[in-house]
Structure 1
């Protein structure tokens, strides 16, 4: 291979963010760095266990990239959409965006960004695929749900900007997603291709507002999703592979100067139509700078990289297109001190994580977010000490259960693993029992299940619902309900304190 080909391959490799294979450095991940010279790596759930493990992994990855790889520090990215603790044990797990939207406090939203940046950088993650700035104005949206700050475009813009500032002012790259807006879709792009069949005027006035706001705020990255927008590209090409949307709209019309990142290219919104190799080529032609290439194995990773290199050699992708992205990537790495002269490895420090002030920020948000509905009253569990309560709950709500049990040690605790089991538990409740029903679900619940649930709750002497999920599930429920939006530990603690007045 001649020098010119090597230079081309190395520049293309900087455009890839491959998924790391496993929780420790193994031969497959080593191949991504030493043979493919990848410029970025993505840490999925299989690579994220606890703070010490992630720090050890990222330290080895950076060292390998510098000594046997490209010689350039890596973009190391993750989906820390609710703090590093939403994926990594030992870090702060913040309430999801919908709960932050309910709290509607910009200063606290900023603090979640600051703390997430501090903890993420301390474990070696420098690029966060967050925040979600989709406007969730469709109650039946199957994928965004509580990941969104809400249905109010102004609120989404304000809080999204606050989080972006919190990340970037403290050294971590923020990514506003999922352009051009995934909030009003009926289809999950993990499974198929959603179509935003709205007029350009409607999109301009609603979906695009938070992205324009994020651009004006200085967001350094925007993730383009896999959805068709016929008003902009009548061919129904996914936005992530569409020149009209990625370059024409985002880069030129909206004048975005930062990094354009694709959503995961293994999602079925892409692979139902294209091979991942072809998707990579089309994404580069569309104008993407970073290809989130979630390969199944090293062979597929190498094949994707080779496909882009070959497309340049054959003239399908202009060399100038690669140079543009390479230049943006290197300028961003310079800005975030990810160049050989500027980069300094971090030393693991336990004291950085879960600081008392950080945990208090999460609790402040949770207290502001808690929303009583249908006559729900604080302290309801202590109104009559002789009442026999039964708690029916998801297994993930252990923190909530412990909080309730501190004040009501004799409460009966029943665990459920499915919606069907929840109904069966209610049907088998003894007469005279009072029910606390607690469930967590970040996607819309089925209307027919909610109707059956309401009927069963009418049979019990007294029933209350603590809902760690979407407000769309409980708007017309007719049962005393405490809406908590999400199952983050701070929200569980707050719900228990609300019921017991602890």
Structure 2
């Protein structure tokens, strides 16, 4: 896998004259009446306080009515059958929505679910819920159509406008809040300096800490603007230099303390300066920050000492999901939540199905036994309640379902999305066989879209047809067969252009272990006919594709990104994007630096 070594990264950053970004300090919060927080905290039982710490997934599109399969899932996970019963049983402080849990089918449905869960939480005088989602935009997004799409962090940075990134976050927050989601687990503050990173990649704004810091600060402002949502910078202390996915293993980051200060810290410092509501921990081991080898989520030196002490952050800290192997390996479900709280964490996110009873009781018993001081518990509950106060949940936590269509996916938001997305497309190569330029092509060209991502291929073909092209689609998947490659090669003669949509063609460990996407592009380019690869995930694909194929980085497979790609292919708009990451060659040297990009 391509890995750019830290020395090369630091040299490349120095060559660009990069200066580590320092965000302007957020204005001090105005004095607020905290009596609501004090009153709730004073009357809570110990069981209710413990419940406030947990943010869990629930199964179902409605609070009280679920399918048989969803009831079975809730029973297996929590011993009760409906989302409302889960909230009541544990006195929950938060709920997180997922498509695979059946929570997010349509905007109005989400709003009704949110209202009913809030009604459940407050029905016995308890505080309202923090209702959350992972709406990073781009490859990690939970809101269904017609919610407005944006292309994700790396694409936004490629466009070179922090104002546009702020606007994307503001629109996203407005639509989330309209359906009752008041906590968003974004932006990603990781600096992706490792091109072999299997889990961050295009979710990161940049491999340059200064650029990443600027965009993190901009999105924090956008998400939290006005009646926005609580933003969460993730994953502290920095998940950008790893080849292990913490969902499945324990990543070890070997940065020195100075490298951490130089590479990983700036975006988190910028988020704190911008007034971030929440910071999410990473299930990673960084021995220079904690030599015991404990994952950061469970590390008092990293959470209590570094984040809260040295960086001065006193807001809410939430774990990454506790069903991930990065925190489970070596620690049982009874110890993980207790150690996280002792480390300085406040919210405990997504226990593995079946672990909730064990985790809840473990925290309760740790307080009763004195391992966790009740004053320590109160500090976390106070932070969580203060966040609810700050986000305007102390009055009426319900949302107006009738207003949802007037906010979610409205034309003004869609127009803004296309305007923000168009400048993200980045051209890295445009020279075909014989040295001639490949792009742009005539809007009436015959184009065959050979795609590793079927939805993206269909969207690109539709956008090309809208411009007058004759466009066909050949879906081949991420591991195209010999027959599929032969058919694509044969089709080149009948088309003016072949566009190959690649998806992590660099990854010959997980995505494409036989390198078949690379072979596909090589055989197409060998025909001498015009071929352009479009990467809908990482731009790192370009290092493994022939120089006689053109190359565009879209960083995203969203419909809006494919429309932008279509207009660049036909010359309706020029490519304006510039690389926000260093692209290494196969040997680890710098192939393309930050800021590279062609136009026409």
- Normalising to structure 2: TM-score of the pair? 0.78
Taking the TM superposition and a 5 Å limit, the aligned residue runs for 1:46-65 are 46=101, 47-65=103-121
Query: Cα 1:319–1:219, aligned 2, differ >3 Å: closer, same or farther?
Result: same
Q: In the alignment, what sits opposite 1:335?
A: 390
Which of 468, 474, 480 is matched with 2:550 structurally? 480
Q: In the alignment, what sits opposite 2:588?
A: none
Any conservation in 1 of the 2:250–2:283 contact (CA below 8 Å)? yes
Q: Tell me how far 1:500 sits from its aligned partner.
A: 2.7
Q: In the alignment, what sits opposite 2:78?
A: none
Mapped pair 1:182 → 2:239: yes
Structure 2 unaligned segments of length 5 or more: list them: 1-41, 65-80, 432-436, 573-600
Q: How far apart, in 2, do the equivalents of 1:245 and 1:417 lie? A: 41
Q: Tell me how far 1:407 sits from its aligned partner.
A: 4.3
Structure 1 unaligned segments of length 5 or more: list them: none
Any conservation in 2 of the 1:362–1:490 contact (CA below 8 Å)? yes
Any conservation in 2 of the 1:392–1:416 contact (CA below 8 Å)? yes
Which of 139, 144, 152 is matched with 2:208 structurally? 152
Taking the TM superposition and a 5 Å limit, the aligned residue runs for 1:17-96 are 17-26=55-64, 27-45=81-99, 46=101, 47-68=103-124, 71-82=126-137, 86-96=142-152
Q: How far apart, in 1, do the equivalents of 2:362 and 2:43 lie? A: 14
Query: Cα 1:38–1:500, aligned 2, differ >3 Å: closer, same or farther?
Result: same
Q: Tell me how far 1:93 sits from its aligned partner.
A: 1.1
Any conservation in 2 of the 1:135–1:183 contact (CA below 8 Å)? yes
Comparing 279-288 and 365-374, the one that deviates more: 365-374
Post-superposition Cα deviations, 1:335-358, rounded to whole Å, max 9, x if no partner, equal 11222x464543432011222232
Post-superposition Cα deviations, 1:450-478, rounded to whole Å, max 9, x if no partner, equal 54234312333332212212111114631
Post-superposition Cα deviations, 1:384-426, rounded to whole Å, max 9, x if no partner, equal x6x75422122121221101233456433212233234x6422
Q: How far apart, in 2, do the equivalents of 1:411 and 1:213 lie? A: 45
- Aligned-partner SS, 2:61: coil
Q: In the alignment, what sits opposite 1:97?
A: 153
User: How well do the aligned residues superpose, as a CA RMSD in angstroms?
Assistant: 2.3
Which of 456, 469, 473 is matched with 2:523 structurally? 456
Q: Tell me how far 1:5 sits from its aligned partner.
A: 12
- Aligned-partner SS, 2:416: helix
Any conservation in 1 of the 2:233–2:268 contact (CA below 8 Å)? yes
Any conservation in 2 of the 1:141–1:444 contact (CA below 8 Å)? no
Taking the TM superposition and a 5 Å limit, the aligned residue runs for 1:197-212 are 197-212=254-269
Q: How far apart, in 1, do the equivalents of 2:154 and 2:218 lie? A: 14
Q: How far apart, in 1, do the equivalents of 2:391 and 2:334 lie? A: 30
Q: Tell me how far 1:378 sits from its aligned partner.
A: 8.3
- Aligned-partner SS, 1:411: strand
Post-superposition Cα deviations, 1:79-102, rounded to whole Å, max 9, x if no partner, equal 000189653222111011010010
Mapped pair 1:396 → 2:455: yes
Mapped pair 1:361 → 2:419: no
Q: Tell me how many residue pairs correspond in the alignment.
A: 492
Q: How far apart, in 1, do the equivalents of 2:141 and 2:171 lie? A: 11
Mapped pair 1:489 → 2:559: yes
- Normalising to structure 1: TM-score of the pair? 0.92
Q: In the alignment, what sits opposite 2:353?
A: 296
Query: Cα 1:205–1:160, aligned 2, differ >3 Å: closer, same or farther?
Result: same
Q: How far apart, in 2, do the equivalents of 1:443 and 1:151 lie? A: 20
Which of 476, 479, 493 is matched with 1:432 structurally? 493
Which of 45, 48, 60 is matched with 1:7 structurally? 45
Moved over 6 A (4+): none
Post-superposition Cα deviations, 1:109-129, rounded to whole Å, max 9, x if no partner, equal 110111011100000000000
Query: Cα 1:134–1:445, aligned 2, differ >3 Å: closer, same or farther?
Result: same
Q: In the alignment, what sits opposite 2:72?
A: none
